């Protein structure tokens, strides 16, 4: 058996979603067979944290993070930094979020999203755990808030499922943050996104599925699952001039550096 440091990491998936309810052990087994050593399953509403935690507790190599997704910020109770910090006591709790800004469908809650984001940043700052950011159609506000908060006190961060502008990528990288590659980057018409990853430092890249969403070719349009992160890594690796073993080793090392609590 190869060591976990030579295996891919799905740095962002949603194993608690109903899409996996009837076959979660099989989904995790397929990931193992595909060379995925570790997974981080993400809780998007704090009320669901016990369920997500239980999944991580039940499976070796599965870790978790929790926060309030920006699209839920308008309806979910506002999290407190203290609540998020308390969760960090769990040995498998490895990140804060996902949080962020989404003005595509929920622009009317922009002010509340921004307040929630700043609370999550404070929790990341105090715990030292990485912040997990969702950004859509909010590049200017996102870059401004991340930069303002970093000046107020440093914290670590990954821009999950990055598919925003080169300007936001540059702003995030300038702060020392990471960019995560999802199945979007493997779509044939995503050349501009692949160019952003190709221009980024290799030691700031992660890979993820965001499953059950965004399956890469040839599974596009179907339910995504952690096993498919290998296909995303293979396709995007070609665009970066990296073999699958090379991008596996690089992104696994990057994950260990950022998500140090989950390091193999």
Closest CA to 214 of 134, 117, 141, 114: 134
pTM equals 0.96
Looking at residue 1, its pLDDT comes to 31
Looking at residue 24, its pLDDT comes to 96
Look at residue 222 and give its three-state secondary structure. coil
* Owning domain of residue 188: 4-262
Count the neighbouring beta carbons within 10 Å of the beta carbon of residue 30. Answer: 15
- Number of domains, the chain: 1
- Look at the alpha carbons of 111, 117, 123, 128 in this order and tell me if their dihedral is positive or negative: negative
Closest CA to 160 of 227, 202, 101: 101
Closest CA to 71 of 118, 109, 121: 109
Distance of CA 129 to CAs 122, 171, 179, 184, Å?
A: 11, 20, 16, 26
CATH of the domain at 201: 3.20.20.140
Closest CA to 224 of 238, 207, 239, 241: 207
Per-residue pLDDT of the chain (264 residues; tens, 9 = 90+): 344 547 999 999 999 999 999 899 999 999 999 999 999 999 999 999 999 999 999 999 999 999 999 999 999 999 999 999 999 999 999 999 999 999 999 999 999 999 999 999 999 999 999 999 999 999 999 999 999 999 999 999 999 999 999 999 999 999 999 999 999 999 999 999 999 999 999 999 999 999 999 999 999 999 999 999 999 999 999 999 999 999 999 999 999 999 999 995
Looking at residue 183, its pLDDT comes to 96
Looking at residue 187, its pLDDT comes to 95
CA angle 97, 74, 159 (to 5 degrees): 30
Looking at residue 56, its pLDDT comes to 98
């Amino acid at each position: 058996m190869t060591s976990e440091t030579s295996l891919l990491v799905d740095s962002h998936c949603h194993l608690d979603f109903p899409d996996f309810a009837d076959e979660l052990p099989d989904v995790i087994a397929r990931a193992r067979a595909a060379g995925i050593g570790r997974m981080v399953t993400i809780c998007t509403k704090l009320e669901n944290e016990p369920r997500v935690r239980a999944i991580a507790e039940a499976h070796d190599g599965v870790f978790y993070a929790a926060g309030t997704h920006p699209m839920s910020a308008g309806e979910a109770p506002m999290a407190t930094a203290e609540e998020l910090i308390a969760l960090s006591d769990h040995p498998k709790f490895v990140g804060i979020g996902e949080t962020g800004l989404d003005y595509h469908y929920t622009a009317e809650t922009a002010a509340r999203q921004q307040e929630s984001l700043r609370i999550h940043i404070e929790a990341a700052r105090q715990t030292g755990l990485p912040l997990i950011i969702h950004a859509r159609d909010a590049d200017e506000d996102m870059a401004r808030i991340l930069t303002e908060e970093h000046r107020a006190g440093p914290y670590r961060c990954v821009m999950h499922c990055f598919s925003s502008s080169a300007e936001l990528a540059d702003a995030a990288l300038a702060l020392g943050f990471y960019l995560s590659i999802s199945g979007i980057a493997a779509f044939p018409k995503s050349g501009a996104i692949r160019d952003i990853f190709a221009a980024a430092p290799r030691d700031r890249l992660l890979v993820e599925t965001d499953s059950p969403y965004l399956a890469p070719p040839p599974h596009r349009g179907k339910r995504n699952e952690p096993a498919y992160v290998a296909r995303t890594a293979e396709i995007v690796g070609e665009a970066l001039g990296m073999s699958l073993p090379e991008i596996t080793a690089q992104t696994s090392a990057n994950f260990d550096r950022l998500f140090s609590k989950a390091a193999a």
